[in-house]
Amino acid sequence: MKVLLVEDDQFHASYMEDVLVETLPEVTQIFHAVNGQEAEREARAMSIEAVVMDLRMSQCNGIEAAQILWQERADTRILFWSNYADEAYLRGISAIVPEDSAYGYLLKTAPRDRLKLALRAVLVEGQIMVDREIHRLQRRTSSPRNTLDDSEFAVLLDLSLGLQDRMIAERQGMSLRTVQNRLLSLYDKLGVEDVSDDETPINKRVRALNRALITRTLNIETLETAEREFERWQSSRA
């Protein structure tokens, strides 16, 4: 079995390679990429069937790379390995994983034995395995009272790009009133208080972005991806 290790930190890459060799005698070759773009090229060239993927990388992050890999080969088995338990990452993975595909999401702080279990479960046995802390995040975000739905999240991303309501409506195929209703809903879910007196004026859009970053509903990779998608959208309108 060929495994592609996508990791831009040399220490983590060496550690993971040691664990792969120790844990999986089925592995015949280990290839290495330091960002998502390299991962896409290596996966195509070497017909990779199993991947260990960091999430936070320059140029092309792990979710963007995984989306391409799964589009080209839906049965690719991917273990996401990250320092971060962000809702933004969890939402991103959930949005792209093909039906019946094997994947995992493990934190880099997980014990070595736990990592070994995850590698075998995902890359060899084709199971789904998610870190306990990620499970806790899933339970927290499973409540509609606190979690943005897909349309609210799309409006939040456009808000983060600095778009006004009419542009958001055009991009999302919504009416202006629907956009405004989504904004009110996401303000409520993110805990943006209704402060309107003269002594404490507040810009709700900026406050919503602040709250989204603090709660990890958004992170820098999500914003970078949104910017690239917006640029493509603008180009398509030209």
Tens digits of residue pLDDT in 170-213: 999 999 999 999 999 999 988 887 655 566 678 899 999 999 99
Taking the C-alpha atoms of residue 80 and residue 103, their distance in angstroms, rounded to an integer, is 7
pLDDT of residue 181: 95
CA distance linking residue 64 with residue 47, whole number of Å: 19
The two structure tokens encoding residue 7: 């990791």
3-state SS class at 9? coil
Contact of 67 with 88, CB cutoff 8 Å? no
* Under 8 Å between Cβ of 181 and 154: no
Residue 138: pLDDT band (50, 70, 90) is low
| Mean pLDDT in residue range 120-146 | 77
Query: What pLDDT digit, counting tens, does each position of 17-74 carry?
Result: 999 999 999 999 999 999 989 999 999 999 999 999 999 887 788 999 999 999 999 9
**pLDDT over 70 for what percent of the chain?**
92
Q: What are the beta bridge partners of residue 79? A: 52, 104
List the 50-53 sheet strands across, edge first: 29-33, 2-6, 50-53, 77-82, 103-107, 129-130
All domains of the chain in start order, with CATH: 2-138 (3.40.50.2300), 150-235 (1.10.10)
pLDDT band at 87 (very low <50, low <70, confident <90, very high): confident
**Run of H or E residues at 158:** helix 150-160
Predicted confidence band of residue 144 (pLDDT cuts 50, 70, 90)? low
Rg of the chain over Cα atoms, rounded to whole angstroms, equals 20
Number of neighbouring beta carbons within 10 Å of residue 165: 18
CA distance 95 to 211: 22
Token pair listed for 124: 């060899």
Local structure of residue 98 (DSSP, 8 states): P
